[in-house]
Amino acid sequence: MSHSRIAVTSSMNTGGTLFRPEQLVLIGSAAEPGTTIEMTPFKQLYVSVDTARLQDAQQELIQSGLRVLPTGFVTKSLQACNFCKGAEEAGLSFARRLDEAISGLEVPVPLKIGYAGCALGTSEPLTKEISVVKMRDTFDLYAGGDVKGIKPVFAELLLTKLAEEDVIPAIQRIIQHYRAHSKGKEKFNRFINRIGLDDLRKLSDKKFSP
């Protein structure tokens, strides 16, 4: 019998990444007996499912309100804060749209994209490869965080005072450029160092895009 591994996470909400008990029961029943469920550092559960049941299992999980994404060399689901300032002020509905638009995309090396609903940044946005911080009515975009290893690097400010509708296209342009121009399995942080933050700023800014 063959297994397929899927990444399962809950929809973001005020209070954080919350699972209802019945959703956890469903995840347990979707998992192939004898396998384990891995809790990743990026708020996804990796679940091994019988490949013959994969489509049905995915459908059931999605219908229960869970998100199902690929594992491996993809952008991970949005690493967001707990929206403690409330759904509207912290931008919950925008964060959900951002998550839908940018997670599960194939990339040379897995990418973590962060989101904070205010400048307090309790989700540690500057530790992520790409991150968005809501600043009242506009958004700041950061890039280049890499805190693995013993020489951590924090993300730097790329674009500031972005309108909501400009954030997703800017991130999509960055991801597309990384996919098209990385050298093999080049880490995102090294990719930025090679092409330069100023060039990344220009290609992500709609003022300079075709």
Q: How far is the CB of 29 from ligand SF4 (least distance, A)?
A: 32
With CB under 6 A as the rule, give the number of residues binding ligand SF4: 13
Q: How far is the CB of 203 from ligand SF4 (least distance, A)?
A: 28
CA–CA dist 88, 91 (Å, integer): 5
Q: How far is the CB of 136 from ligand SF4 (least distance, A)?
A: 12
DSSP assignment letter at 51: G
Residue 40 host element (H or E) = none
Among residues 39, 48, 50, which one has the least CA distance to residue 17? 39
Which CB atom, from 133 or from 174, has the smaller least distance to ligand SF4? 133
User: Which residues inside 176-205 make contact with ligand SF4, applying CB under 6 A?
Assistant: none
Q: What is the dihedral of CA 123, 46, 60, 111, to 10 degrees?
A: 50
User: Which residues inside 61-100 make contact with ligand SF4, applying CB under 6 A?
Assistant: 81-85, 90
Q: Which of 55, 122, 160, 176 is close enough to bind ligand SF4 by CB under 6 A?
A: 122
Q: How far from the centroid of its chain's Cα atoms is residue 165's Cα?
A: 18
Backbone angles phi, psi at 39, to 5 degrees: -90, 110
Q: Are strands 113-116 and 79-80 parallel, antiparallel or unpaired?
A: parallel
Question: Is 118 a residue that touches ligand SF4 (CB under 6 A)?
Answer: yes
Which CB atom, from 85 or from 97, has the smaller least distance to ligand SF4? 85
Q: How far is the CB of 90 from ligand SF4 (least distance, A)?
A: 4
Provide the angle, in degrees to the nearest 10, between the axes of the packed helices 197-204 and 164-181. 130
Q: How far is the CB of 145 from ligand SF4 (least distance, A)?
A: 15
Q: Applying CB under 6 A, which residues contact ligand SF4?
A: 81-85, 90, 116-118, 120-123
